[in-house]
């Protein structure tokens, strides 16, 4: 048959083609390429089909006829303004991280912050919101993928669904950016993309559903339900625990010597950027906590939350400042910034239910916890370049427990039109017994353990692909040049104490000037 084809001039071209295919398939590299291409096309096709299946049945505009509660104007405006403030925390995060890192990884931090935000937006629209805020079972929401089939407003809040989504997207993005904090300086960009999809697409929304979902098992548990007003556990402990897993999976930066081995953290490259970033985070927190009332009509609630947020940050900044002074006899800016951030993280869960005095003490304790936790990480030789784990995990846990201790019992639950005082939250110090504290401990423990275990699996899975950590050469050259082809300050010759390597924390070099050898003196 084939002989006939070859002889016929009409099929000569076809035969040639067949010949080339046959020889191509004998070549293993060619075969692998063709298979990969075909496989990739099939996967892509399947994804598109799956997406269409979600998209087509109930497009959003088709729900116009569905009955929905009336939109509440002031709640909507309040939540949107808060959402924009929380988004502003991204600015703070990238500034804080870039400022406290070495100059050679600044571009990488900025690109990661931006790309994590973008990934978070897409995954939170596609399935994250459905996993987290829609009914399903106690462990995961199973409704409203791509926001399809949802009512115009979220629950009884009177807030348009899309406004509520923007607010919650900003929270998810915060969690996602926290994770990168302890992984600065050595994490490859492809690895960052892979673990970010895992964090914002799965870990945060699914475990967040336990505490904040309408039927999450922690939110409905009895006799006292787990309370986390704005996310000490749901946002900060989850982010901090993932960050810890990432730092463990990555290992320390090259040349990082720990304090017990006679070293210390490399010097930051721009302490002004870092401190300004910290203050912008504090500003953004005024959206994070007060906005979580989800109601502009709960005037006393908003005021109380704003006050408590401020007070905890102030007292935590002061205790960190003085505690650091006692230890090193200098007024340390870096520890003070991490101190007030620790206070903000801690007050995030209890801010609705505690008194001004309570907020003061919750903050004051967190300013010390953050320094102890930093020491602990240093002692066990885990390299956390900007202190994400002590601030977000350490003080996230403390703040969650503090609710069970300091809740006054005067305040109930926030509703769309004000406070509902029929159920009050009362802590240990105000005669509420250990019931609430126990609920907080169960919630915090379950979330932290589950997050840390899953994050370890995720990080080691990404590590197995070889993309989590850059090569030693790339790390020494700096992630900016290696991954992005651009230093942060391309125009300037950078001055400073060994800025490219971050300096060493030993006592200052003996050397300014040109010396002669000592023994030669007569």
Partner 1 sequence: MKLIKCIVRPNKVDDVRDALEKLSLAGMTVTDVRGHGRQKGHTAVYRGKEYAVSLLPKVEIEVVVHDNVVEEVIRAIVEAARTGEIGDGRVFVLPVEQGYNIRTGERDVN
Contacts with partner 1, residue ranges (CB under 8 A): 255, 476, 481, 484-487, 490, 493-496, 498-501, 504, 509-518, 520-522
Q: Shortest Cβ distance from residue 106 to partner 1 (Å)?
A: 14
Closest CB to partner 1 among residues 3, 490: 490
Closest CB to partner 1 among residues 228, 480: 480
Closest CB to partner 1 among residues 222, 485: 485
| Element of type H or E holding 266 | none
Angle between helix 161-180 and helix 204-212 axes, rounded to 10 deg: 120
CA 8 to chain centre: 68
Closest CB to partner 1 among residues 102, 392: 102
Per DSSP, 484 falls in state I
Q: Are 147 and 62 in contact (CB under 8 A)?
A: no
In DSSP notation, 131-169 reads HHHS-BSSS-B-S-GGGTT--SB-TTS--BHHHHHHHHH
Q: Shortest Cβ distance from residue 94 to partner 1 (Å)?
A: 19
Q: Shortest Cβ distance from residue 111 to partner 1 (Å)?
A: 12
Q: Shortest Cβ distance from residue 499 to partner 1 (Å)?
A: 8
Q: Are 178 and 245 in contact (CB under 8 A)?
A: no
Closest CB to partner 1 among residues 4, 473: 473
Closest CB to partner 1 among residues 409, 505: 505
Q: Shortest Cβ distance from residue 189 to partner 1 (Å)?
A: 13
Closest CB to partner 1 among residues 13, 513: 513
Q: Shortest Cβ distance from residue 475 to partner 1 (Å)?
A: 10
Cα 129 to Cα 48: distance, rounded to the nearest angstrom: 20
Closest CA to 110 of 182, 180, 200, 199: 180
| Beta pairing partners, 141 | 136
Q: How many CA atoms lie within 13 A of 316 on its CB side?
A: 33
In DSSP notation, 202-220 reads IIHHHHHHHHHSTT-TTTS
Q: Shortest Cβ distance from residue 494 to partner 1 (Å)?
A: 7
């Amino acid at each position: 048959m084939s002989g006939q084809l070859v002889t016929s001039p009409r099929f000569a071209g076809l035969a040639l083609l067949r010949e080339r295919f046959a020889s191509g398939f004998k070549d293993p590299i060619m075969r692998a390429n063709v298979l990969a291409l075909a496989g990739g096309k099939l996967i892509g096709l399947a994804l598109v089909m799956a997406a269409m299946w979600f998209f087509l049945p109930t497009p959003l505009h088709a729900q116009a006829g569905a009955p929905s509660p009336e939109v509440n104007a002031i709640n909507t405006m309040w939540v949107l303004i808060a959402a924009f403030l929380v988004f502003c925390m991204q600015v703070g995060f990238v500034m804080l991280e870039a400022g406290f890192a070495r100059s050679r990884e600044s571009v990488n931090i900025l690109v990661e912050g931006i790309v994590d935000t973008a990934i978070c937006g897409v995954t939170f629209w596609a399935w994250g919101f459905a996993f987290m805020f829609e009914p399903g079972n106690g462990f995961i929401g199973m409704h409203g993928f791509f926001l399809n089939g949802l009512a115009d407003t979220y629950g009884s809040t009177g807030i348009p669904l899309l406004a509520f989504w923007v607010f919650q997207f900003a929270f998810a993005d915060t969690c996602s950016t926290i994770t990168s904090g302890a992984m600065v300086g050595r994490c490859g960009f492809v690895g960052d993309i892979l673990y970010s999809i895992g964090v914002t697409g799965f870990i945060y929304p699914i475990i967040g559903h336990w505490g904040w979902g309408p039927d999450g098992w922690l939110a409905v548990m009895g006799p006292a339900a787990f309370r986390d007003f704005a996310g000490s556990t749901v946002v900060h402990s989850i982010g901090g625990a993932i960050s810890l897993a990432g730092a463990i999976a990555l290992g320390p930066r090259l040349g990082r010597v720990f304090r017990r081995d006679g070293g210390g953290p490399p010097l930051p490259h721009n302490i002004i950027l870092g401190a300004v970033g910290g203050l912008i985070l504090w500003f953004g927190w005024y959206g994070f906590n007060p906005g979580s009332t989800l109601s502009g009509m709960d005037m006393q609630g908003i005021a109380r939350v704003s006050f408590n947020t401020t007070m905890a940050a102030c007292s935590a900044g002061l205790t960190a400042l003085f505690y650091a002074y006692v230890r090193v006899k200098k007024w340390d800016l870096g520890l003070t910034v991490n101190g007030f951030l620790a206070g903000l993280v801690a007050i995030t869960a209890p801010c609705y239910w505690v008194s001004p005095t309570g907020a003061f003490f919750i903050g004051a304790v967190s300013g010390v916890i953050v320094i102890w936790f930093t020491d602990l990480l240093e002692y066990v030789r885990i390299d956390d370049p900007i202190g994400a784990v002590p601030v977000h995990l350490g003080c996230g846990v403390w703040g969650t427990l503090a609710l069970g201790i300091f809740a006054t019992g005067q305040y109930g639950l926030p509703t769309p039109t004000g406070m509902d005082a029929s159920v009050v939250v009362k802590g240990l110090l105000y005669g509420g017994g250990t019931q609430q504290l126990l609920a907080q401990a169960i919630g915090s423990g379950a979330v932290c353990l589950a997050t840390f275990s899953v994050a370890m699996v995720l990080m080691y899975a990404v590590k197995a692909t070889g993309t989590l950590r850059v090569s030693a050469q790339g790390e020494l050259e700096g992630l900016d040049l290696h991954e992005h082809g651009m230093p942060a300050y391309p125009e300037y010759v950078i001055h400073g104490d060994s800025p490219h390597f971050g300096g060493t924390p030993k006592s200052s070099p003996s050397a300014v000037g040109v010396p002669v050898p000592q023994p030669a003196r007569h």
